[in-house]
Amino acid sequence: MDPNHALNALRAAARDLDDEVLARLIADLQAEIDDRHAPIPVAPGRTIADVQQTGGITDRQEYVRCGKSGCRCARGHLHGPYWYRYQSVNGKLTSTYLGKNRR
């Protein structure tokens, strides 16, 4: 979406809000920014190959361990890399598997 178009639509909508609701909106937006800059933890046994951030979405390419004791990854030859998408939904960090190539 064109950022100027989005900003104009948001400003138009905000004009009708009373002060209290507007103050809550500002606090929510600040929390959204804070969430974006919170470090995303790395699961045990994984290593990061690449990171790409767009707005509140972080796509991260990771080498992973499957957990099977006899597998090559248990000896350090990890699987992947695979892409995962991380984003905050209602203040909670979610992770979505995207695959070998991002879709």
The Cα–Cα gap between 89 and 103 comes to 20
Q: Which CB sits closer to Zn ion, 24 or 77? A: 77
Residues 44-83 that bind Zn ion (CB under 5 A): 66, 71, 73
Shortest Cβ 1–Zn ion spacing (Å): 40
Q: Which CB sits closer to Zn ion, 23 or 71? A: 71
Q: Which CB sits closer to Zn ion, 73 or 98? A: 73
Shortest Cβ 78–Zn ion spacing (Å): 8
CB 7 within 8 A of CB 15: no
* Count of residues in contact with Zn ion, rule CB under 5 A: 3
CB 74 within 8 A of CB 45: no
The Cα–Cα gap between 51 and 85 comes to 10
Q: Give the tokens for residue 95.
A: 């992770």
The footprint of Zn ion (CB under 5 A) covers 66, 71, 73
